[in-house]
Amino acid sequence: MHIGFIGLGIMGKPMAKNLVKAGHTLVVSGHNATAAAELAELGAAIADTPREIAAGTDLVMTMLPNSPQVIEVALGEGGLLEGAHPGLVYVDMSSIAPRVSQQVAQRLAERDVVMLDAPVSGGEPRAVDGTLSIMVGGDRATFDGVRDVLAAMGASVVHVGDVGAGNTAKLANQVVVAVNIAAVSEALVLAQKAGVSPEAVFDAIRGGLAGSAVLEAKTSMMLDHSFTPGFRIDLHIKDLVNALETSHGVGAPLPLTAAVLEMFTALKAAGLEREDHSGLVQHYELLAGTRIGRR
């Protein structure tokens, strides 16, 4: 398939590379010149504007930081809307507010463009190896038509409802991940203060009900204080802000989410916003006056 891809950041670049590896013809945005050059070495073409990309492709995919960037790329000057043609499919894989997905989809529908919102979970490692979890909202027939394309980037591709449902599912995912990271941090700091090896506690509980993907992926980073980002604190703050905004709109209180957001915000105030979200353990270490480590 002839695909346009916009947003070659920490997640988007490996996702785009997996599309090329799967045999798709790619046109990428030249906004990130270094990343675009890497894709060009794999055979991708480079375009200057989203309008140009939309005009020359059957499917456009975006992986952008937040709602304002999606609005700009899709609807702004030189954006997708200006290059839209009947039959064009737009799949936004950014993690944004569900209401924004719905608003953008409505505008694009006026030009006979069908939009899916398809945010992902798994961080950079899974983006690289093509095993992301992808949650998709939008027209089911359109989803069926691009499912194989999405499968080149993800091990799990699930249709969850109408446009906006994908991002609602992603917000739910981010709530679970954030609260889980906080719980792991609390548990490891508790062990340290009680004089028990946090690493030994991890080994003891990982096979029981407390076991989780977060426990497995983040404990070693916490024990080593190695917070090179797979998913940055500032991005998780963005997602939790969107989750709370959405929750307020539908009347679903999220008290635990709000508490973790404040912890992440404290770390941002300390200049740690570009660290991995597993760095949340540092907030607990500060509160307890300790530092966890291996045996």
- Active-site residue list: 170
Is-contact 160 137, C-beta < 8 A? yes
> What's the CA angle centered on 20, arms 8 and 87, to 5 degrees?
85
Look up residue 118 and give its two tokens.
Answer: 């398809």
Nearest-angstrom CA–CA distance, 292 and 117: 40
Nearest-angstrom CA–CA distance, 169 and 165: 6
- Residue 123: count other Cβ atoms within 10 Å of its Cβ: 20
Look at residues 264, 262, 280, 277 and name the one whose alpha carbon lies nearest to residue 121.
277
Look at residues 54, 52, 51 and name the one whose alpha carbon lies nearest to residue 86.
54
- Three-class secondary structure of residue 19 per DSSP: helix
Is-contact 280 267, C-beta < 8 A? yes
